[in-house]
Amino acid sequence: LDCLDHAVYPFSELVRELKVDRDQAISPIFQTYYAYQNYITSTVTDLQRPGPEGALHTKFLKEVHQEGDKDLGLEVYEEPERFILNIKYNPDLFEAATIQRLLEHFIRLAAAVVQQPYGTIAAYDFFSAAQKAAMLRDWNDTARPFPEAQLLFQLFEEQAAKTPDCTAVVFKDQALSYAELDRRSSKLAAYLQQQGVGPETFVGLYLERSLEIVVGAVGILKAGGVYVPLDPALPEERLGYMIDDAKVAFLLTTASLASRAQPFKSRVPNLGLIYLDKDWPAIDRCSAPSRPPELQPQNLAYVIYTSGSTGRPKGVMISHLTTTRHCYSIRDYFRMAPGERVCLQSPISFDASIEQIFAPLSIGATVAIRDLEVLSPKPFSTMLADLKINIIQLPPAFILALFREWQLNPRLIPADLKLLISCGDVLAVETVRLWQAMLKDRVTLLNVYGPTEVTAKATFHHVDPNMDTASLARIPIGRPLANKKIYILDRYSHPTLVGVPGELHIGGTGPGRGYHGRPALTAEKFVPDPFSDEPGSRLYRSGDLAYYRDDGTIEFLGRIDHQVKVRGHRIELGEIEAVLAAHPAVRSAAVITVDMREDKRLVAYLVAKEGHTLDQGDLKACLGRQLPDFMVPSAFVSLDQMPLTPTGKINRRALPQPEGSVGEGAIAPRDAVELELTRIWEEVLEVKNPDIRQDFFALGGHSLLAIRLMVLIEERMGRELPLATLFQAPTIEQLAAILRREDAGSEPTLVPLQALGTKPALFLVPGAGGTVLYLNELADHLGPDQPVYAFQATGLDGRSEPYTSVPALAEHYIQAMRLMQPEGPYLLGGHSFGGRVAFEMARGLERMGQKVQQLILLDCMAPRPEAESDDWDDTSLLIAFAGALGMDIGRNIDMLAGLVADQDLDQQLERLLHALKQQNLVLPDMRMTRFKGLFQVFNTNNQIQYIPDGPINARITLFKAADFEPRVIEQEDVRQMIDDPIISAKLDAMNRRWAHFAERTARDREDAHLGWDRYTTAAVTTYDVPGDHMTLVREPHAQALAQAMQACLACSAGGQMGADAVR
């Protein structure tokens, strides 16, 4: 009330005195106001008092008022017999219907306060009877009839009897008819029953992608068991916990996974291993299974594990009845038809795989299992077309990538695709716009939502082909599926008003039984349904924030708790925090997500125990042993103490922005060398006061910034360092130590891209450019426990001469490698030209009596038996060199080839460097000496002729780029950049040369093994990976390549390869 003493203080003076920042878009200080105007009563009374001229007649003119300058304001005028409410609002922010509803709620609140003056706001009912009926009854009118007594596998059995000869499931070139799938799954069910499997018996499904996934799932259910999907890509410790927690009785697997399955028996001694390939003769002798009389629809069908906030994953239990009802709904909403092809896109450990298997099998459609090796948009599109896919579910980020690719190449749009379902994350408005522009008349787009706890889906939204997306912020998640109900409730479990956010609760037939072995958590998340008369009905508290729109559709806003979605994966931040907190050096830990353009990254904040230091490599290795790769934070920040709220909880909003990797605290520069380096670090990375032990790359550094860093060191400190030095010494402290030495300018041969880890080291040879920087992203994705070293070519400094033969290079690299690892077995690899050098290294090592465990080739063509001659001239080499630079800095600069004319090579190089600088494709600090060194190495390597003297005994694993596009230099593109009369003739000649080269390369690439089967006495295994020759090792494809390599390296350690991955 004291404020009323200053009621007449001018607002403009207040703004001036407070010196607030002004923004033309918003009103200063506040944007919402409430004004109570009580001057009218006293004024009217004065005017109506009789005077010399008699009493005046007064009338309130509501049309005359001052325009509002705030976003929203409510003015209340007091009259003797009534109140007048005048609401002012910004029409750019609010719709008229929203304001009308707001006024109605205010009036209803005022009436309630008068009737119950001592109540609380939470206790007052803002709803009209019509609004409450719409929200609780009309918008949840989803009841649909379905059979009550069916078991999940019976949906398939009934369909198999109707269409026995139709195709039930396909994978690559393999297929099973409905009759054959029925026969094989029945044999397996009978065998499992002989082993003791029955209702509520948990059976693990530990399989790579294959037909056996479907055979195993149906067979377990026919036996009466509960299937527990286990993804072989997950860490062994995490899988072991799931098997132990679920008390899995049997594990269905194959002989190719035997070495990885055996360790699980140490955690569950009575665990039975059943091999669907090795044991199939015994399985095939079994007769038909019998249905256990005690098996009822209420029995469990499956248990799927999701991330858990306590540090351990939690198993979600779903019954036959719940899943059967869901499959009926899904096939109706997806409009599945007999004979259509539905893609099994999701891993078996994802809940969406359930409906992708059983909904199609219940209606006579075909389950088409996609090849997990195909990950990038272009080959993925080809796969959809080849498999004739009609229906597919995908994460929205990948849908956006597909649409962008289809926008550039409309011919890639699969002709048979009719329905695209976005699930797992937020569907971007940009994605809908692309769909409207390209596909709205031929492909239906659905946006669906649902947690694992409610059988994968709870709501669906048919995206309107004609919706106006100009001012749209979010795409709705729609309305509840059949027999499911949605309630959006506040913290008092009261329904929220339209437009008011609350926690989304899911009821009806959706909620599962709960969490296996977690009764307290089940009681917390699965609560009684206060809006249902059905005994035992429950609601699942999703933890998701949402609100109702006027038409009853729902908009999703995000999470209430600390669960997040990263690249479509559901992650409980508490699980990561619990693993970190268990580390012996960590006192406390907090993990948050930081937005990165179209994605998020995880950042961990840590406080060390007294007397301990925190090591990022050790922390990553610890997390990698227990968590999937997508749950390992990309940055670690060390704090003296955690910021806390007044209630003593960690204040996540007060956590600082991540600035780098974990160190021992802020250590300042200790001499002039470290001080100068700190200033350079601040300028290049745009950070303040970096710790001298913070990693350059963890602070956001990359290859372009690394070049600038080295240039500034040379300019200001008079020392020219090889670029690879930064990999050896990525901190100020380490780099200063090198600068203090006399031999700082020597070029290191072996560069540690990832020096930590307990696994056998992988040694990589880069392509013809000879630099190792572009392999850094691949090394990062190979994981914190996988050491990776790369060989840097001699001659990059522009002073020393490069090696001129493959055997000489191989001998030099072997010497460097054996200084670090004197004895084998060795893991060798190489990209492009580097693959041939790695092959010659393998030959040299085998001649020395050393064992080469595996040779990994990254899109490398085998040498032809006859000598190769591409007749490279200077112009050709400069064009190829420009392309190699484009790979190294993530840009395509072939168009600049037109710059080179009838000049000598030095003039051409100088002109090319100048043009690159003009177009900001290299930093302006690039020196000619270093630029010529880069070209000298590239030129030499490209002109080396190499024919091996014989084969090797080591196994070869080839990762073949899925994309191959001939390079054509467009004249119009160049004319827009460079005005040179010689360009046209040059480009015509070069295009003819490149066309001939591309034609020959395309023929060679038709060989699945690219010719390498001639050069080994062992096997050649080929994998198709996303990207082209230049991009397969870089983002966004590096992660997919790394995952495929990890599987091969794991199999190599076990002495075998996964048969299903071999082409």
Instruction: Write the pLDDT tens digit of every residue in 830-883.
Output: 999 999 999 999 999 999 999 999 999 999 999 876 655 555 666 667 766 766
Mark whether 678 and 632 lie in a shared domain. no
Domain with residue 692: its CATH number is 1.10.1200.10
Each residue of 1028-1061: pLDDT tens digit? 888 899 888 898 999 999 988 887 665 444 333 3
Q: Is 126 left (phi over 0), alpha (psi -120 to 50) or beta?
A: alpha
Please identify, among 270, 294, 328, the residue that sits at the C-terminal boundary of a domain.
328
Cβ atoms 403, 434 nearer than 8 A:
yes
The reply to whether 927 falls in a domain is yes
446-469 mean pLDDT? 93
In terms of domains, do 640 and 675 share one? no
User: Who has greater pLDDT, 59 or 662?
Assistant: 59
Report pLDDT for 663: 39
Buried/exposed 648-675: b ≥16 CB within 10 Å, e otherwise: eebeeeebeebbbbbbeeeeebeeebbe
Under the banding of pLDDT at 50, 70 and 90, the label for residue 662 is very low
Cross-strand pairs, 479: 460
For residue 88, the cross-strand partners are 73
Condensed to tens digits (0 to 9), the pLDDT of residues 117-154 reads 887 877 787 777 777 888 888 899 999 988 877 899 99
> Does one domain contain both 164 and 39?
no
| Same domain (yes/no): 187, 132 | no
Q: Quick one: CA torsion of 303, 306, 309, 312, rounded to 10 degrees?
A: 70
Backbone angles phi, psi at 213, to 5 degrees: -60, -45
Q: Where does the pLDDT of residue 707 fall: very low under 50, low under 70, confident under 90, or very high at 90 and above?
A: low
Q: How many CA atoms lie within 13 A of 995 on its CB side?
A: 8
pLDDT band at residue 489 under the 50/70/90 scheme: very high
Of 105, 138, 171, which residue sits at a domain end?
Answer: 138
Pull the structure tokens for residue 33.
Answer: 């106001």
* DSSP conformational letter for 163: -
Using one digit for the tens of pLDDT, what is the confidence trace for 340-350?
999 999 888 88
**CATH code assigned at 190:** 3.40.50.12780
Clarify whether residues 119 and 84 are in a common domain.
yes
Task: Look at 909 and 514; give whichever has higher pLDDT.
Answer: 514
Cis check for the bond before 825: say yes or no (omega within 30 of 0). yes
Same domain, 901 and 1002: yes
pLDDT level of residue 39 (50, 70, 90 thresholds): low
* Mean pLDDT score, 37-56: 58
Last residue of a domain, one of 692, 718, 742: 742
Q: How far apart are CA 508 and CA 504, in angstroms?
A: 14
Same domain, 307 and 189: yes
Nearest residue to 243 (alpha-carbon basis) of 263, 222, 220: 263
Phi-psi region of 277 (alpha: psi -120 to 50; beta: other; left: phi over 0): alpha
Q: At what angle do helices 152-162 and 320-333 cross, to 10 degrees?
A: 50
Query: Looking at the domain assignment, is residue 370 inside a domain?
Result: no
Residue 25 lies in a domain: yes
Contact status, residue 867 vs residue 802, Cβ threshold 8 Å: no
Residues 719 and 690 grouped into a single domain: yes
Least Cα distance to 750 among 712, 794, 783, 716 occurs for: 794
Answer yes or no: are the C-beta atoms of 500 and 471 closer than 8 Å.
no
pLDDT digits (tens, 9 = 90+) for 354-381: 999 999 999 999 999 987 655 667 778 9
Structural domain range at position 60: 2-138
> Which structure tokens are listed for 829?
């690899």
Residue 753 lies in a domain: no
| Residues 175 and 285 both lie in one domain | yes
Q: Is the pLDDT of residue 660 over 90?
A: no
CATH code, domain carrying 568: 3.30.300.30
| Within-domain flag for 347 | no
Higher-confidence residue of 788 and 215: namely: 215
Residue 582 lies in a domain: yes
Tell whether 96 and 231 lie within a shared domain.
no
Pair (224, 79) in one structural domain:
no
Give domain status of residue 864, yes or no. Answer: no
Measured CA to CA, the distance from residue 75 to residue 88 in angstroms comes to 8
Planar angle of CA 139, 140, 141, nearest 5 degrees: 95
Q: Where are the beta strands (DSSP E) in 50-105?
A: 72-78, 83-89
Three-state SS letters, 345-379: CCCCCCCHHHHHHHHHHCCCCEEEECCCCCCCHHH
Q: Which residue has better confidence, 210 or 567?
A: 210
Q: Which pLDDT belongs to residue 889?
A: 34
pLDDT over threshold 60, residue 675: yes
In a domain, 175, yes or no: yes
Task: Please check whether residues 182 and 109 belong to one and the same domain.
Answer: no
At residue 897 the predicted structure's pLDDT band, cuts being 50, 70 and 90, is very low
* Domain containing residue 25: CATH number: 3.30.559.30
The residue-averaged pLDDT of 423-437 equals 89
Instruction: Render 141-194 in DSSP notation, one character per residue.
Output: -------SS--HHHHHHHHHHH-TTSEEEEETTEEEEHHHHHHHHHHHHHHHHH
Decide the pairing of beta strands 167-171 and 83-89: unpaired
Position 604: which residue type?
A
Q: Token pair of 360, please?
A: 């199609």
Q: Is the pLDDT of residue 449 over 90?
A: yes
Do residues 482 and 142 make contact, with C-beta atoms less than 8 angstroms apart?
yes
Across the chain, what does the average pLDDT equal?
Answer: 82
Q: Is 170 helix (H, G, I), strand (E, B) or coil?
A: strand
* Number of domains comprising the chain: 5
Q: Please compute, for residue 835, the number of CA atoms within 13 A of its CA located in the half-sphere on the CB side.
A: 21
- Cis peptide upstream of residue 1036 (ω within 30 degrees of 0): yes
Residue 64 confidence class, pLDDT cut points 50, 70, 90:
low
- At residue 667, the 3 state secondary structure works out as coil
Range with the lowest mean pLDDT among 145-149, 437-441, 937-941?
145-149
